[in-house]
């Protein structure tokens, strides 16, 4: 499985980020524009994942997104895991939306 740093993926133009965290985790912090499919729903919702571009998977620290990347690769999706997840994204000072919209 391939991995990329948060800084590297942020620098990519138009990167498709798939956040596989749970909804309550998104309420705390999220990346605007990222797709969201919780890991537990990924198999049932895999048809929502683009097949014509690389998909960058993200979770809290990288474990669940690694599982998601492995599954997506097994069904033919070009996938790269974001090392360190949203924790590393935050550590690098990359843009995040903190808290809920309400």
* Residue 84: predicted pLDDT: 97
Domain extent at residue 54: 2-98
Alpha-carbon gap, residue 13 to 45, rounded angstroms: 25
CATH of residue 45: 3.40.250.10
| pLDDT profile of the chain (102 residues), mean per 10 | 94 97 95 97 98 97 96 97 97 91 50
Number of domains the chain is built from: 1
Selecting among 6, 15, 18, 59, the annotated active-site residue is 59
Whole-structure pTM value: 0.94
Closest to 99 in 3D by CA, of 25, 22, 17: 25
3-state SS record for 63-102: HHHHHHHHHHHHCCCCEEEECCHHHHHHHCCCCCEECCCC
Tell me what pLDDT residue 99 has. Answer: 84
Neighbours of 99 (CB within 10 A): 10
> Does 59 qualify as catalytic in the annotation?
yes
């Amino acid at each position: 499985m391939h991995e990329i740093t948060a800084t590297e993926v942020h620098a990519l133009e138009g990167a498709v980020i798939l956040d596989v965290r749970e909804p309550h985790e998104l309420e705390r912090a999220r990346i605007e524009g990222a797709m969201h499919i919780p890991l537990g729903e990924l198999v049932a919702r895999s048809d929502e994942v683009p097949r014509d571009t690389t998909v960058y998977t993200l979770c809290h620290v990288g474990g669940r997104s690694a599982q998601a990347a492995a599954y997506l690769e097994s069904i033919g999706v070009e996938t790269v895991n974001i090392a360190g997840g949203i924790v590393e994204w935050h550590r690098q000072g990359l843009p995040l939306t903190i808290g809920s919209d309400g």
